[in-house]
Amino acid sequence: MSSVLVFFAAFFLLIPFLQPAFAQNDNDNGLAMLESASDQGTFLVRMWWTQADIGADNTFEIKFVEPETGRELEDITYDFIVVSASGQEAVHRQSQAASVQAVAFSTEGPYTIRIANIDGLGEGADFDVRVTPEFAPAAIAAAAGIALATIFGAKFRKRS
């Protein structure tokens, strides 16, 4: 019986290494739309987040909109900052004009995507995102197979 417990303990310690991790997904295609008004309400910031595995590039497509008219603004510069849960800046890109930014998250957990100093006015918008692990179907099937084999093996050993 103790060997079964040791086996299960070892197995559950290894599970994090068997599962790929994905950024939190709000729909089936890995695309999440985020929206926030800037600090002073001058800009509406829209961001489409295309999520990817840990270590692979997640892309953030950023658009700025005039809140009163709904018209998309062009040639807006901004600082793109990614802050981890511990408060450390993982990414800080100043004076960006590109509409797409790519970030490879190295670990799971909560992050804040900060769009700062929009158009040099000092305004910003924060977006809270969460990078989470997701069980792969292969890992679930393997765990179920090992659990069943262990249970039946223990049952047959008791009979003999």
What the chain holds in terms of domains, given with CATH numbers, is 21-135 (2.60.40.1930)
pLDDT of residue 38: 97
pLDDT of residue 106: 92
pLDDT of residue 141: 57
pLDDT of residue 130: 93
Token duo for residue 20: 């790929």
| CB of 150 closer than 8 Å to CB of 158 | no
pLDDT of residue 133: 60
pLDDT of residue 20: 34
**Does residue 50 sit in helix, strand or coil?**
strand
Q: Indicate the pTM of the whole model.
A: 0.68
Question: pLDDT averaged over consecutive 10-residue blocks of the chain (160 residues)?
Answer: 50 41 49 95 97 92 97 98 96 98 95 98 97 56 66 67
**Does residue 45 sit in helix, strand or coil?**
strand
pLDDT of residue 57: 93
